[in-house]
Amino acid sequence: MALFLITSVCDEGVYENDFKVIEAESRAEIAQNMLDDPYAWENILRSSRVWWDITRYEYKYNEPLAWSADELLERLDATHVDGDSEFQIRIYEITKIEKIPKPTN
């Protein structure tokens, strides 16, 4: 299993509840979990364009959203910062964990 950093960023930066470190097999596994239980990811997703689709599409159109995990990843990767009205969502694999460097003097 790998570690992933999931961020939700606005123009003011990242706040305490705007990121998670998750252990998972892949980005797709995380995306599928977001589709399966979006409210568990509300702090991350709420201020993005995909939130409405994931949580309200079925209610409004009376049919399931039917996105695959890969489709959700594409949509998340296309999010961008628009002031504080829309947040950029990213899922990054953590490939290296560094230690605090020793003082050089």
Please give the model's pTM, rounded to 2 decimal places.
Answer: 0.86
Q: Which two tokens stand for residue 82?
A: 């628009």
DSSP symbol at 4: E
Residue 86's pLDDT band, with cuts at 50, 70 and 90, is confident
Distances 9 to 21, 43, 69 between C-alpha atoms, Å: 15, 11, 21
Model confidence pLDDT, tens digit, residues 21-51: 999 999 999 999 999 999 999 999 998 889 9
Report pLDDT for 84.
65
Domain range list for the chain: 2-94
Model confidence pLDDT, tens digit, residues 47-84: 888 998 898 877 778 777 889 999 999 999 999 888 76
Cα–Cα distance for residue pair 26/4, rounded to 1 Å:
8
